[in-house]
Amino acid sequence: MTIEAQETTVVEQDHLIGLVEGYKKQGYRLVQINCTKVGDLYEINYSFDLKYQFKNLRIVVDGKREIPSISGIYWGAFVYENEMHDLFGIRVVGMNVDFGGHLIRTAKKNPFANPTFRGEDACPKK
């Protein structure tokens, strides 16, 4: 099986926009943005690809401070940023299309921000 090399670089939030602009200038496309809650912090991964070379920028945030939108650089980023806001409660400023928390309708607000059932039985006995 061919294994794809993947490079992840952890960067400061203040440097994010400049680095993303650099990727765009080099011709990278935006693959995805995702968020992972690790302890009390959130890891946000910005993935890019150019000719099947996969690169990943990561910022680690506390969820209280706003993060900048990259939708001014990659227009289609708004779906990931709105999703991240709706599921994790990460506040993203400057989105080109801001759904105001209504892109994904959830029964509970920001359901992925505080997952409380890790390791529980799939079907706990009542």
Partner 1 sequence: MSKKIIMPFGPQHPVLPEPIHLDLVLEDERVVEAIPSIGYIHRGLETLVAKREYPEYVYIAERTCGICSFIHGMTYCQGVEQVMNLEVPERALYLRTIWSEYSRLHSHLLWLGLFADAVGFENLFMASWKAREFVLDVLEETTGGRVIQGSCKVGGVRRDIPCDTLDRMVKDLDGFERELQDIANVFLNDESIIGRTRGVGMLSRDDAYYCGAMGPTARGSGVGIDLRMTGYAAYGKLKFTPAVETGGDCYSRCAVRVKELFTSIDLIRQAAAKIPEGEIEVKPKGNPDGEYFSRAEQPRGELVHYVKGDGTKHLVRSRIRTPTLTNLPPLVKMLAGCELADVPVIVLSIDPCIGCAER
**DSSP 8-state class, residue 3:** P
User: CA–CA separation, 95 vs 81, rounded Å?
Assistant: 8
Which one, 36 or 91, has the nearer CB to partner 1?
36
* One character per residue 26-45, x = contact with partner 1 (rule: CB under 8 A): ---xxxx-x-xxx------x
Spell out where the chain has E strands. Answer: 6-10, 29-38, 41-50, 53-61, 67-68, 92-93
> Could you say whether residue 22 binds partner 1 (CB under 8 A)?
no
- Positions touching partner 1 (CB under 8 A) are 1-4, 6, 24, 29-32, 34, 36-38, 45, 47, 52, 54, 56, 74-76, 78-80, 83, 86, 97, 99, 102-106, 111-112, 115, 117-122
